[in-house]
Chain A
Amino acid sequence: MRAVSALVRKDLLLELRTKETVPAMALFALVAYVLFHFALHRNALEGDLAAGVLWVTILLAAVLGINRLFVAEREQGGFDGFLLAPVDRTAMLAAKVTALLCFLVVLELIAVPAFFLLLLGPSAGPAFPELILILVLADIGLAVVGTLAAGLAVQTRARDLIGPLITLPLLVPVVLAAARATSPLFSAPAGGVEAKWLAVLGLYDLVFVLLAYAVFDFLLED
């Protein structure tokens, strides 16, 4: 537990000092909204389209963060240092998932209000508790799968290419379920969230948390 908190503190401190990842993710989300505005030729979105634009943007911004997740470890020998320390290797998984989760929450604190401001139709007034629930469930999936994919890709030669290529297909169910769950919230007569999508997100999170716990150790042996 102490190892996890030390690692998380290290990652957050590094991010606070260098400000490399999260500002880039947020900026990317804003640029994506502008691109969507021009590419779709719409001033305001609602329903399925709004949910899709929001979730694709969050996904792609998350991929930026996922790509950089283990960069410091690889470049500065952090893996060796960690392996020499007498701690459980799962600590690295827990710490990286937590750090990525923090990055995603900060990203969404900027990207979701910006989405309401820039693109969401005026009639649609979303219900916040439901939206937050969907965001949290999807973030857990994004963080766990992202950490695994980043851990897989970081040792390869073409890591900047392999990372997103593995991450995107693996996250199709998350985007699918999150977008379908969000779309009634963005519709003009706002509907309720379908429970089955929350169940899919929950199941996805559960399966990948267990899998990550089972296989992550094998990525850290040298």
Chain B
Amino acid sequence: MQGKGLRGLSIATAATLVTAFALVFFYAPLDADQGFVQKIFYLHVPMAIVALCGFIFGGICAIGFLRTRDRKWDLRSYVAIHLSLILGVGVLITGSIWARASWGHWWVWDEPTLVSFLIIFLLYACYQPLRFSIEDPDKQARYAAVFAILAGAFVPLNFLAVRLAQPLAHPRVLGASGNLPSSMEFVFLVSLAGMVLLFITLWRYEMAAKQTRMRLKSLRQRLLSS
């Protein structure tokens, strides 16, 4: 009963992702400057957007936890941040590959978005060490929620500060979708939708698994105590 609707969602996700990749490789035009490697943009940027939204969603769920004290909200926040961290690794790797291909270095400090993302990633990398070095489950949820709120608010502030630190804005190849050709923009939007669906599906699976495990534990305890 936990996994209600998960099958349909999984099918929709798989279909959207397959469509997105088909469009990326067979429909989207080759970039005039960068050529084939620019196609990593359709993976890297949606992943970054979804990861950042996941971090902020984790913060919002944490507010929900502190207001209601319902463990479900804590679980939501934890799963969202956990998944976003995994996506974050992907963002840093794909960003690095893209930087290598288009600027010749594995890491460029004058790309403010990537640098901000690294700082945010380093901050969120402390979430799990913090969480799991507190034993009391109630306290663990509370402290993790406070951290998630602080870090969620830190995300936009950090972007602002790092952005301002660039003497002149780096020529944004394909940063803002405003200057994309419409065919590229369409493919980008499909990829973004696929990534959002992927996140939601994984999040729902993880939530269902965690809730089932918790239920199993409580049932077993009841069985043992009776």
Contact = CB atoms under 8 A, between A and B. Distances in A.
B147 A176 contact: no
B122 A169 contact: yes
A180 interface: yes
A162 B130 contact: yes
A169 B119 contact: yes
Interface string A172-204: 110011001000000000000000110010011
A221 B164 contact: no
A177 B162 CA distance: 9
Query: Which size class do A's interface residues fall under?
Result: 20 to 34
Contacts of A87: none
Interface residues on chain B, size class:
20 to 34
Contacts of A39: none
B142 A218 contact: yes
A14 B135 CA distance: 30
Nearest to A157: B133
Contact of B146 (A156, A161, A219): A219
B104 interface: no
A207 B151 CA distance: 12
B15 interface: no
Contact of B158 (A148, A173, A180, A214): A173
A218 B145 CA distance: 9
B174 interface: no
B161 A173 contact: yes
B178 interface: no
Contacts of A222: 139
B161 A211 contact: no
B160 A162 contact: no
Contacts of A158: 129, 133
Contacts, number: 81
A165 B125 CA distance: 9
Interface string A125-156: 00000000000000000000000100011011
A3 interface: no
B143 A200 contact: no
A211 B154 CA distance: 10
B83 interface: no
B12 to A, nearest CB: 36
Nearest to B120: A169
B126 interface: yes
B153 A211 contact: yes
Contact of A215 (B119, B122, B130, B150): B150
Interface string B115-137: 00001101100100110011100
Interface in B159-203: 160-162, 164-165
B85 to A, nearest CB: 14
Contact of A176 (B66, B139, B153, B165): B165
A180 B165 contact: yes
B149 interface: yes
B93 interface: no
A207 B157 contact: yes
Contacts of A56: none
A155 B150 contact: no
A215 B119 CA distance: 22
Contacts of B66: 215, 218
A170 to B, nearest CB: 6
B143 to A, nearest CB: 6
A54 to B, nearest CB: 17
9 contacts: A152-B146, A156-B134, A156-B143, A172-B119, A172-B158, A173-B162, A214-B149, A218-B66, A218-B146
Ranked 4 nearest A-B pairs via Cβ: A173-B161, A169-B123, A156-B133, A157-B133
Given A165-B129, A204-B157, A218-B146, 15 more contacts: A156-B133, A157-B134, A166-B123, A166-B147, A169-B119, A173-B157, A173-B158, A176-B161, A176-B165, A208-B153, A211-B150, A215-B146, A215-B149, A215-B150, A221-B142
Interface of A: 148, 152-153, 155-158, 161-162, 165-166, 169-170, 172-173, 176-177, 180, 196-197, 200, 203-204, 207-208, 211, 214-215, 218-219, 221-222
